[in-house]
Amino acid sequence: MGTAAQRRSDRVSLTLLLEASGKDINQEEFAQPARTMQINRTGAVILLDRDLRTDQHILIKRLAPTEKHRQSQVRVVGQFGRQKEGYVYGVEILQPENDVWAIEFPHIAASQEAVARMLLECTYCHAREVVYLNELELRGFEGTRGIARHCKTCSVPSIWSQAPHESEKKLASRAARGRAGQAHGEIPPGGDQRGRERLRMKTRLTACIRQAHTDDELAVCEDISPVGMCFRSKRRYEAQEAIDVAVPYTPEVANIFIPARVAYCEELPKAGLFRHGVEYRKPQPAKE
């Protein structure tokens, strides 16, 4: 998937159901279900119950009824571990013109002034885009769980909500409705801390904190800005530790995790919690 300095788009934590086919490490042909765990514009982390070798090519196809035409050859970048359901692989898309994810990713350099990042879906045509929200838009979403914005596909204003994960149950339900005819970064050096505080938006959004070799933790985001955030959690994260944060976070839908670094940790003894200040680690745009 690439390091923070190499990435050209945000990484979206999203489940998309796939069929993967090719030959495994024993040269046995296979065609079986797989799913994404995380995607970006040029690749994905997928879960597949087949032993594969690094650099080999396999074919992935979308399983959603309306997306079955979307497929691409991918290269196995490496194996990242194993879960009960199978092996975890990083893959690189070799046919980007096929638009296998059907998601519009803005260039990551455009996120500099974003207060939050979300994968949103038009509630009318179901077009999906990674969207960078400013403070006004995030306040609107916080109150209504939706945002009014212009849809490039519909060519009219529409309501956008968070894109849901795919599941076999959801796809089967959608197919049944169709058969029934019911389809429809870094903080810049220098600068005054009080100046930074003026940029911060007070909030009570749920955040998810992700760190290698441990389970994700849900936390309360107290304030947020384009350069970082502050959250309260049960765990203590030491200053300078690397973490990934997603805010706002909702378990049942897609979430975008942003690379970050803990700036400080403050103990809250009466509450049994810790308050953390976080600075986003903004990647350097890769050369095209």
DSSP state of 253: B
Domain carrying residue 256: 193-280
Identify whether 209 is part of a domain: yes
Q: Are residues 198 and 275 in the same domain?
A: yes
Split into its structural domains, the chain has a count of 3
List of E strands, 41-127: 43-48, 57-62, 71-83, 86-93, 103-104, 116-122
pLDDT in tens, 175-213: 555 544 444 434 334 333 434 444 578 888 899 999 999
CATH assignment of the domain containing 94: 2.40.10.220
Give pLDDT, residue 284.
58
Using alpha carbons, select from 250, 224, 276 the residue that is nearest to residue 114. Answer: 224
Q: Which residue has the tokens 């058969």?
A: 179
Q: Are 131 and 63 within one domain?
A: no
**How confident is the model at residue 158, as a pLDDT?**
79
- Domain boundary residue, one of 98, 133, 153: 98
Domain end marker among 98, 126, 158: 98
How much is the pTM? 0.72
The 10s digit of each residue's pLDDT in 123-182 is: 888 899 999 998 888 988 888 888 888 888 877 677 899 999 998 887 666 555 554 444
Q: Specify the higher pLDDT residue, 3 or 200.
A: 200
Spell out a b/e string for 98-123, using b for 16 or more CB atoms within 10 Å of the CB, else e.
eebbbbbbbebeebeebbbbbbbbbe
Are 200 and 276 in the same domain?
yes
Give the mean model confidence (pLDDT) for residues 52-77.
96
Burial class (CB in 10 A: 0-12, 13-18, 19+), 14: buried
| Same domain, residue pair 213 and 235 | yes
Say whether pLDDT at 7 is over 80: no
Could you give the CA distance from residue 224 to residue 126 in angstroms, rounded to a whole number? 28
What's the pLDDT at 254?
Answer: 94
